[in-house]
Amino acid sequence: MDLLTQPVSVSHYLVVGAVLFVCGVVCMATKRNALGVLMGIELVLNGANLNFVAFGSRILRSDSLGMDGQLMALFVIVLAAAEAAVALAIALNFYNNHASIDVDHADDLKG
């Protein structure tokens, strides 16, 4: 019950961010589907985002990063969208050319 009666601190957010980050990394490492890898990247970015927001929050910390945290988070979200668009385009192109989205098959440049 201690958990419920204590106010939230920055590290609470950081731990959640760490979970997301690690999930993303594991996802990237284990998935063979290109889109699964893409989802892992999204998770990683979101874990980082959570940290930015937590550091920038006035509620969690009185000496917070201020606006910078939120603005960084915004940039991350926008860039994640851009990244997803490009990655998806690459995946589709790969699918068109190889009739597969298994990243293990993407070995054209292997000597």
Q: Which is nearer to other proteins, 5 or 108 (CB)?
A: 5
Based on the shown chain and the rule CB under 8 A, indicate whether residue 106 belongs to the binding site for other proteins: no
Spatial separation of the C-alpha atoms in residues 102 and 31, rounded to whole Å = 9
Based on the shown chain and the rule CB under 8 A, indicate whether residue 50 belongs to the binding site for other proteins: yes
Per-residue contact track with other proteins, 20 to 49, x per CB under 8 A?
xxxxxxxx-xxxxx-xx-xxx-xx--x--x
Residue 33: beta bridge partners?
102
The nearest distance, CB 23 to other proteins, in angstroms, is: 4
Per-residue contact track with other proteins, 75 to 94, x per CB under 8 A?
x-xxxxxxxxxx-xxxxxx-
